[in-house]
Amino acid sequence: MCHLLTMADLTNADINEILLEAQMFKDGSTWSSPKKMYAANLFFEPSTRTKCSFEMAERKLGLEVIPFETSTSSLQKGETLYDTVKTLESIGVNLAVIRHNQDHYYKELVPKINIPIINGGDGCGQHPTQSLLDLFTIKQEFGGFSGLNITIIGDISHSRVARSNMEALTKLGANVVFSGPPEWFDHTFSLGNYVPINQAIEQADVVMLLRIQHERHQGQSTYTAKQYHEQYGLTVERESRMKNGSIIMHPAPINRNVEIADELVESKKSRIFKQMANGVYIRMAVIKRALENSVRGCLHELHY
């Protein structure tokens, strides 16, 4: 398949193949396309990690990156997302990475765009390369997923990470539970169970913290930073009760002393910055796969 839009696009075999490829890139393997290729990164929401990580991955694969800033594009003159992406395709861009605040923004693109689209995050939907880098980080630590206890804590309902990861980890044999403010728990998630915070942390092999997405709460939050930290954050005290060999993850950006105590961000159990390093290798693997699969175009794959 050309595109990578949601984790549901990937079978367990696909996932394992991508993780294997990422490991090879991490170990120094290289790849470049037989001809010069061009990528564009369309980020309609702020990003440091994901955007720079894709840029790095593209350059490590030898792609040229055509700069695109939403604030100075013709979107300012009312151009649609479809016309924008079709324009980039027309001028010779071979791959588009898109982050957009609208859920499933890609549905209108896929039927008529003939270059791979990599979803860099859609609204409160999915963020598949974040999921894959989380899986990669877990696999490096534990060798696999079967039987692992994963606790996802925080702003579940606004998180594209929670949704993507829950689906993928469950499919791969892990036990996923959620914790955090009950009013932020998404009851439409059929899998996963809600567990009180202290129990969730004590039983976890992986404590996966989510960022509080202030920008999606629109002032409705009833917690101060201090209250949240005490009730649902990874405090120093809670961390001391984590299992031996367990790890801490966070997709970042971090609200220090809210989701996690400042002094734990780079502590021994933390894999937070390692996740970022892993992201580059995952994106290299995902882009390589997309470009290889797009040789005959992407339109013959329609199934959305």
**CB-wise, 76 or 240, nearer to a second copy?**
76
Q: Where are any strands of DSSP class E within 204-249?
A: 206-209, 247-249
CB of 16 to a second copy, least distance (A): 24
Strand 149-153 and strand 206-209: the pairing is parallel
Q: E strands along 106-170, which residues?
A: 117-122, 149-153
Nearest CA to 168 among 1, 18, 55? 18
Q: Which residues are near a second copy by CB under 8 A?
A: 36, 38, 40, 43, 46-49, 51-53, 55-56, 59-60, 64-80, 83-84, 86-88, 90-93, 112, 211, 214-215, 252-256, 266, 273-274, 276-277, 279-280
Minimal distance in Å, beta carbon 167 to a second copy? 25
Nearer to a second copy, 73 or 267 (CB): 73
Measured from the CB atom, the residue of 21 and 55 that comes closer to a second copy is 55
Q: Which residues are annotated as a binding site for carbamoyl phosphate?
A: 49-50, 99, 127, 130, 252-253
The smaller minimum CB distance to a second copy, of residues 15 and 113, is found at 113
The rounded Cα 78 to chain-centroid distance in angstroms is: 29
User: Is the Cα dihedral 10, 16, 17, 22 positive or negative?
Assistant: positive
Give the residue with the Cβ less far from a second copy, 132 or 177. 132
Dihedral sign (CA 251, 253, 256, 257) = negative
Burial per residue of 110-128, b for 16 or more beta-carbon CB atoms within 10 angstroms, e otherwise: beebebbbbbbbbbbbbbb
Two structure tokens written together for 46: 């702020």
CB 176 to a second copy: min, Å: 25
Instruction: State the binding site for L-aspartate.
Output: 77, 160, 211
Are 210 and 161 in contact, with CB atoms under 8 Å apart? yes
Task: Tally DSSP H helices, then E strands, for the chain.
Answer: 10, 9
Question: Shortest approach of a second copy to residue 253 CB, angstroms?
Answer: 4
What's the token pair of residue 134?
């989380």
How many angstroms separate the CA atoms of 57 and 79, rounded?
29
Least separation in angstroms between CB 168 and a second copy: 22
Tell me the closest approach of the beta carbon of residue 121 to a second copy, in angstroms. Answer: 12
Q: Which residue, 60 or 269, has its beta carbon nearer to a second copy? A: 60
